[in-house]
Amino acid sequence: MSDIYAEIKADHDRHRALMKTIAGTEGASDARREAWREFYYDIKSHAAAEEETFYSKLMEKTWGQDAARHSVEEHAEMDDLLDALNEMDMSSSGWLNKFHTLQHDYTHHMDEEEDEIFTRARKVIDDSQVGAYGDRFRARKAKEKDLVDAKQKDHLED
């Protein structure tokens, strides 16, 4: 069994490292493309799994609803930035500027989640359930990775 907080934190640490790598690349280099692709698919699947397994539990409590909704709203904003970046020319200065906006916003989101949301969640998710939630998160994230392209296509067709 894995710990839900450790699973989310490990993803965050990987995302921070990937953003640093991306920021250190230039133009439409292979290094940027590879790091971006890994980041894009991982963050998309992470956010969906987090909403379905973690935030849904928080929303059972009235005091958890606002926090969960706020985080889900931030996911939606970042999703829009991710999709815009995915469609842009990586060699343009506009791409890098938009990426820096995403990097700033997502770093804020991760810090807020780890500092505030985890504290709230510990009041809702019993210690005996932390492992099961971590397992569900990891399994859902794996399924979500396979759905990223289909969800993007559905979104574009709407």
* Cβ neighbours of residue 5 closer than 8 Å, sequence gap 6 or more: 118, 121, 130, 134
Give CA–CA dist 118/128, Å, rounded: 16
What pLDDT, on a 0 to 100 scale, did the predictor assign at position 86? 93
Q: Do 86 and 76 meet the contact criterion of CB atoms below 8 Å apart?
A: no
Q: Do 21 and 151 meet the contact criterion of CB atoms below 8 Å apart?
A: no
Segment 122-143, tens digit of pLDDT: 999 999 999 999 999 999 999 9
What pLDDT, on a 0 to 100 scale, did the predictor assign at position 51? 94
What pLDDT, on a 0 to 100 scale, did the predictor assign at position 10? 97
The H-assigned helical ranges of the chain are 4-23, 30-50, 56-58, 62-87, 93-112, 118-121, 130-145, 148-157
Tokens of 142: 């794996």
Residues of the chain with pLDDT under 50: 156, 158
